[in-house]
Structure 1
């Protein structure tokens, strides 16, 4: 006998039994194919993993022609009751290793002792996996270690990518029934601001029609989210002006001559084009993902592919194949460790990468899928949803929780463009703009909104870039813990974390 949630809302409902025969029928109808492996050790890491790591593939699509790869880390607290978090990386086309290594995962590379010959992994002491079960998913096909069996199956758009991710989640839960009743959260950043709300809507639609398994969704979190393409792009110039990167005169002129639209520019509007050239001259050497960090040329390892062939041929990196990290102040330089590590044969064997993936190069972000605002590059991914604001608006009549956050030094998706669409949801303000603290210091600012049983928290991360957890790991981890602590989580660990942050006197819900 299996216990299923019978709720048609975003939260726990009545529990009802399901006969084993019906379970088998639905199991076969979803065509769940087991392809999962426990990983005990990883190259570059000393000793056994201190938590349960599972990797695997789930086939999605009409004929399971797309194979989506995932990393699953079971909560180190109380896996039976702790939330289940599905974390998506943006791009589209960026590997979930971005989240696993650089954002919310339990690993990182020790840059002080790592070389491209021998990247050294270390465990992050304070990690979200101590209070949540987390699935890191490579999506869509062509991202990370995910692949498709046919060339046609790589042709993707927002809608199809969302359907595949929803299909993955249902099948994964079918294969892991002990997590049926765990509160589910969806999380992601950057381009997932488009597809993740679509996924939330797909889950609601499935609940309303009685789709099985009934997914026990409680809410979602989005960081530096691309949400409305036109609004987010057009907010970059006002952001630059606010941050003293543009003079009052240049800003006033470009705003008037371009009528506030810097994306869809009339080629005959000579004055607008002239002003945009002035803007470009002012901003071209400013790093868009974090305006305070040095604008470094991309490492050769990120631009060209031939060194990967050497990795495959020699089974490990070589000093002659990969460049050493030359400038520790350039964040991009450290990414070379990820490329070197993920393309090693022993790493692929440890992760149980499918033989069908073969010698395909792992890349951090697949440029054949990646979305660019201002480029007409031919890719296999077609953005077909220009704004996800209406999806958020649809959720305001649900019992649901949302956390939206922005690194306040991100010029790609400026914080106030996010605040603009949040304000357009017409929610009631229940906690006005105020600072939130970590280590008794201001870590950012926050507001809380509600409408019925829908609750939305907006937060900035002071000094954060695109995306915030990579730049402000401790602050973001504390923020996630406080927000998730409204649910059934490992409160002992959360309490210790808040104590270390100087916040033991604050309630768990304080952000």
Structure 2
């Protein structure tokens, strides 16, 4: 069972931490963006596991509003194996690529007026190991499971907060999309319990203030079917593309509807993050990663959890706050299925099914429950709704995080 987005708000609690090994750098400018960055960007690595042999890479954007008080969000991307950069550049981050026909030169970056960093600080983390710029220093460290990945996310957050103690008192949320509907509630339960699944914890710091189908594009049924979202590098810029139903590669001759699709936009991240100037600006460790891929296929990763229902039950009894939303044109995780497992929780309805509005138009439908759970659909939204409905999703997020009705 999976769903599109989960953000949770918990009460203040004390958790443990072991040794602290991490590195980070401030990024003041980026190739492809004109002038200095008008927001605060930090990148770095946090070593996790006993020997720090898993190095998790992150992008951190400080809130552009009031970072001393605004929420801090730990954000993960699905797959499993898709880089957090995908959320940074295509969904809720402060920049996006100017999409146009590209001759292979470095893509242009522009500001995203609908960035969630307008009202929150966000930690975008490449997880599990092997995703994006995260890597293992040994072959064993390069392997992971659902539960190991959750443990590592928990350890990452603790160590990052120790190194960024100014965020100790901020409300902290955990969120993600797609496959992370399975892992996010587990991570929150780890934080709530104050221990890893392995049970090995020492100390009592820091304080974490977690709060309050054939021929169809199954991710967005109205869009053209243009293949996978992370094509093979050799096929990114070829003049002619073919359809292979078994491997589901890119599609058809130019010009085609796919030239203006998200697949075309995804090419730009491959160009940008495999440029030496960009890697230097982001302080990527030389030799740690070869070719960057938006979504890594064939990771030595074991999916061991298929149902996170019981984690929702456990967390709901503690009064934690949830937002779950679904694009209503997604066939991969249809909103009707999400509604079904929410209904199975058997919580009473506080605010029954109704429309919610943005800019004078119906943006979707929502219902709230007695356990502080809010469910919302995004009208016309795809599997990752902020990609094609950024205005509506930002409005939804801002209203929910400030405790306003959608």
Tell me, yes or no, whether TM beats 0.5.
yes
Aligned partner of residue 357 in structure 1, secondary structure: coil
1:218 — aligned with what?
211
1:163 offset after TM fit, Å?
0.3
Q: How does 1:208-287 map to 2 (within 5 A)?
A: 211-218=204-211, 283-287=213-217
* Pair 1:412 & 2:332 matched: yes
1:34 offset after TM fit, Å?
3.6
Aligned pair partner of 2:232 in 300, 303, 319: 303
Aligned partner of residue 218 in structure 2, secondary structure: coil
Coordinate RMSD, CA, aligned: 2.4
Partners of 1:39 and 1:350 within 8 A in 2: yes
1:324 offset after TM fit, Å?
9.7
* Pair 1:186 & 2:174 matched: yes
Q: Which runs of 5+ in 2 are unaligned?
A: 1-8, 238-252
* Pair 1:11 & 2:11 matched: yes
Q: Distance in 2 between matches of 1:428 and 1:120?
A: 49
Aligned pair partner of 1:362 in 260, 278, 292: 292
* Pair 1:195 & 2:186 matched: no
Q: Larger RCO: Structure 1 or Structure 2 (Cα < 8 Å, ≥ 6 residues apart)?
A: 2
Q: How does 1:344-383 map to 2 (within 5 A)?
A: 344-358=275-289, 360-369=290-299, 380-383=300-303
Q: Distance in 2 between matches of 1:292 and 1:93?
A: 26
* Paired residue total: 377
1:61 offset after TM fit, Å?
1.0
1:98 offset after TM fit, Å?
0.9
| Larger helix fraction of residues | 1
Partners of 2:161 and 2:206 within 8 A in 1: yes
1:167 — aligned with what?
155
Q: Distance in 1 between matches of 2:56 and 2:103?
A: 30
Aligned partner of residue 171 in structure 1, secondary structure: helix
Give deviations 1:443-499, integer Å, cap 9, x for gaps. 000000023xxx10000000001111111111001100001112xxxxxxxxxxxxx
Partners of 1:114 and 1:120 within 8 A in 2: no
Q: Distance in 2 between matches of 1:289 and 1:438?
A: 23
* Pair 1:450 & 2:381 matched: no
Q: Distance in 2 between matches of 1:177 and 1:448?
A: 34
Q: Which runs of 5+ in 1 are unaligned?
A: 1-8, 17-22, 220-282, 309-322, 370-379, 487-508
1:125 offset after TM fit, Å?
2.0
TM-score, with structure 2 as normaliser: 0.88
Q: Distance in 2 between matches of 1:471 and 1:464?
A: 6
Partners of 2:75 and 2:174 within 8 A in 1: yes
1:12 offset after TM fit, Å?
4.1
Aligned partner of residue 483 in structure 1, secondary structure: helix
Answer with 1 or 2: which has the greater Rg.
1
2:38 — aligned with what?
50
2:306 — aligned with what?
386
Partners of 1:116 and 1:336 within 8 A in 2: no
* Pair 1:465 & 2:382 matched: yes
Give deviations 1:383-435, integer Å, cap 9, x for gaps. 11110011000011213110000000000001011111111112110000000
Aligned partner of residue 328 in structure 1, secondary structure: helix
Q: Distance in 1 between matches of 2:78 and 2:228?
A: 19
TM-score, with structure 1 as normaliser: 0.70
Q: Distance in 2 between matches of 1:481 and 1:408?
A: 20
Aligned pair partner of 1:86 in 57, 70, 74: 74
